[in-house]
Structure 1
Amino acid sequence: MPDLLRYALGRAGGPTGQPAVVAIDGRSGSGKSTLAHRLAALVRGARMLHIDDLDWNEPLYQWDHLLVETLTQVRADGALEFTPPAWPRHGRAGAITIPAGTPLVLVEGTGAGMRAAAGLVDAHLWVQTDYAVAEERGIGRDIADGTNGDAEESVRFWHDWQAAERPFFAADRPWERADAIVCGQALPGVGPEEVAWAPRR
């Protein structure tokens, strides 16, 4: 894991007084959040920008302008204080906050490496996971969390989401711009605290 972090930070160049911005993208259920939390734990003061917060109650994959706006602010100010427009409309309080002096911002979520924001990230990691594995994980996670209702509703939501996610990825093809490809599922010979990855040639 530390070698992947060093590689990603190396893509950001030398210190500039601004946070390094690393996008972690992949299909739903691929293991993005797990990877982001593990990388964040290696850097004191690292912060995560969750796409799930940014696109909350927005039309599926029609929130690219919000990602561009937030990352533009991070680039300009080295910090972020942003309330997505859907939050007050739906009674959600607060804001997405990244304080000044943050050394690393991990943009985590489906679409984090989208073409529209490619010029605003320093490094882009694509988490590759077989669809069947991602589906089992994603539905199981949603049922356990109760995020999208009961088991039947969670399965329905998954397929509705995939109806938007799959054509988005087919058109945007973020893995082709990724700096590294990370394996999001267990492999023989790779321990639970290890991660298999390779720079994209």
Structure 2
Amino acid sequence: MDDGDVPTSRRPLVRPAGLTALADALRALPPSCGPVRLVGVDGHAGSGKSTFAGRLAEALGGAPVLHLDDIASHTELFDWTGRMRAQVIEPLRHGGPAHYTPYDWTARDFGPPRVLKPAPVVLVEGVGAGRRALRPWLARLLWMDLPAEESWRRGRSRDGADLREFWDGWVRAERRHFADDPSRPFADLLVRQGTTGYEVLPGPAGHPRRGPAHDSR
């Protein structure tokens, strides 16, 4: 649920070379989930998470990206924490590969398992990537800093009239989720997209993430 452009910021932007520097900084972090540096990319639906995560993964030399669209489903838009922990977090935490069953949004069913190897950096992209149940396992949380209404407008425009009813339900569910379990206040970095690159700013968290042994949220 992410793509498109947002207004150019007046501040300097992080262009491809800057993404390389960000990638280097992420690699230098201590592992947060077994041997893995798990990095969350959260934000409103339509804010550009998938595009940014893909470009950051390239800068990381082909880092795996777990899309939360593969973990969620029509009946569990946000109630997927148990499946995420069982299929992804626990295997990675113990140093092994994860095997998760991606959801097919057309067939409305879960498909055959996919393997997610314990790479040095693994990106988790999607609405709710920074939820409280996952934060203890994140080395960094990045928030795509585009307001909700603008993000949803972009998403609706991209997906067209056929998904209008889905979007109506999604917006209500997303509002409820972030009212109960906000991610942005815990973001280590804010990411803003312009026409020529990305701007990466310090996030509201205001301090380095300390890791699961010290984070009881």
Instruction: Please state which band the TM-score falls in when normalised by the shorter chain.
Output: 0.7 to 0.9
After superposition, give the CA deviation of every residue in 1:110-145 in whole Å (9 maximum; x if it has no partner): 0011001111111110111023321222112323xx
Partner secondary structure for residue 132 of structure 1? helix
Match of residue 147 from structure 1: none
| Structure 1 or 2: more helix by fraction | 1
Match of residue 145 from structure 2: 128
Which of the residues 75, 90, 94 maps onto 1:72? Answer: 90
- The answer to whether 1:104 aligns with 2:125 is no
Match of residue 155 from structure 2: 138
Amino acid at match of 1:98: L
Match of residue 154 from structure 1: 163
Fraction of identical pairs, as percent? 33
Match of residue 175 from structure 2: 166
Partner secondary structure for residue 41 of structure 1? helix
Could you say if the C-alpha distance between residues 136 and 86 of structure 1 is closer, same or farther in structure 2, counting changes exceeding 3 Å? closer
Could you say if the C-alpha distance between residues 174 and 15 of structure 1 is closer, same or farther in structure 2, counting changes exceeding 3 Å? closer
Amino acid at match of 2:202: P
Q: Which moved more, 1:153-162 or 1:55-64?
A: 55-64
Partner secondary structure for residue 116 of structure 1? coil
After superposition, give the CA deviation of every residue in 1:64-99 in whole Å (9 maximum; x if it has no partner): 112222122212124211236999x95543213113
Could you say if the C-alpha distance between residues 60 and 131 of structure 1 is closer, same or farther in structure 2, counting changes exceeding 3 Å? same
TM-score (norm 1): 0.80
CA offset at residue 16 of structure 1?
9.9
CA offset at residue 181 of structure 1?
1.1
Rounded to whole Å, the distance in 1 between the matches of 2:104 and 2:152 is: 27
Partner secondary structure for residue 46 of structure 1? coil
Q: Give the length in aligned residue pairs.
A: 184
Amino acid at match of 1:119: P
Match of residue 72 from structure 2: 55
Match of residue 46 from structure 1: 63
Match of residue 22 from structure 2: 4
Rounded to whole Å, the distance in 1 between the matches of 2:157 and 2:104 is: 27
Contact 1:128 1:181 in 2 (8 A): yes
Match of residue 186 from structure 2: 177
Rounded to whole Å, the distance in 1 between the matches of 2:97 and 2:62 is: 13
After superposition, give the CA deviation of every residue in 1:45-66 in whole Å (9 maximum; x if it has no partner): 4101110001134422111112
Which of the residues 178, 195, 198 maps onto 1:195? Answer: 198
Could you say if the C-alpha distance between residues 90 and 135 of structure 1 is closer, same or farther in structure 2, counting changes exceeding 3 Å? closer
Which of the residues 114, 133, 140 maps onto 1:116? Answer: 133
Could you say if the C-alpha distance between residues 31 and 179 of structure 1 is closer, same or farther in structure 2, counting changes exceeding 3 Å? same
Gap runs ≥5 in structure 1: 144-150
Partner secondary structure for residue 130 of structure 2? coil
Gap runs ≥5 in structure 2: 1-18, 207-217
Rounded to whole Å, the distance in 1 between the matches of 2:129 and 2:32 is: 23
